């Protein structure tokens, strides 16, 4: 097991790693839409989705991977009515074969964010 960390994504806000590589998989902890430079959260669900996914990509890149290595995503939304907007952002990041995905509405997200994203990636590039 190997911890993955980068300053290009927000530091963990608790006792967890940004990511862990184990048995050929990389598990990226839930990423809030926090800008790693300013520590701010952008306004609006589209901007927050872009920021959260940028944080995910930064952690993937720190492990030598990219969006093409992602096999599973989980998106937590404060409001499921934002699904269509988040889906538009998602479609700009991932391509066929799209990762498996779950998307759920939750009661609350840390720091008042509108969404949080976590992913699982494999260390070998997916064949498309």
Give a yes or no: residue 58 inside a domain. yes
Q: How far apart are CA 9 and CA 7, in angstroms?
A: 5
Q: Which domain holds residue 110?
A: 2-122
Clarify whether 39 is annotated catalytic. Answer: no
Q: What is the pLDDT of residue 113?
A: 98
Q: How many domains does the chain have?
A: 1
CA trace torsion 16, 21, 23, 27 (10° rounding): 60
pLDDT tens digit string along 52-83?
A: 999 999 999 999 999 999 999 999 999 999 99
Give a yes or no: residue 92 inside a domain. yes
Give a yes or no: residue 29 inside a domain. yes
The whole-number average pLDDT for the span 94-103 is 96
Give a yes or no: residue 127 inside a domain. no
Q: What is the CATH number of the domain that holds 53?
A: 3.30.1330.40
The pTM (predicted TM-score) of the whole model is 0.94
Q: What's the N-to-C CA distance of the chain in angstroms?
A: 28
pLDDT interval class at 125 (50, 70, 90): low
The whole-number average pLDDT for the span 112-117 is 98
Give a yes or no: residue 17 inside a domain. yes
From 8, 103, 109, 126, the catalytic residue: 103
Residues ≥6 apart with Cβ < 8 Å to 5: 17, 18, 19, 62
Give a yes or no: residue 128 inside a domain. no
């Amino acid at each position: 097991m190997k911890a993955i960390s980068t300053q290009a994504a927000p530091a963990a806000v608790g006792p967890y790693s940004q990511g862990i590589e184990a048995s050929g998989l990389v598990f990226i902890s839930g990423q809030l839409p926090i800008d790693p430079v300013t520590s701010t959260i952008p306004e609006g669900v589209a901007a927050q989705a872009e920021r959260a996914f940028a944080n995910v990509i930064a952690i993937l890149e720190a492990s030598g991977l990219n969006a093409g290595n992602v096999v599973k995503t989980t998106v937590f939304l404060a409001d499921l009515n934002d699904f269509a907007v988040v889906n538009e952002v998602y479609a700009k990041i991932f391509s066929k074969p799209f990762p498996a995905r779950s998307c759920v509405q939750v009661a609350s997200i840390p720091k008042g964010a509108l969404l949080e994203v976590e992913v699982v990636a494999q260390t070998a590039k997916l064949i498309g």
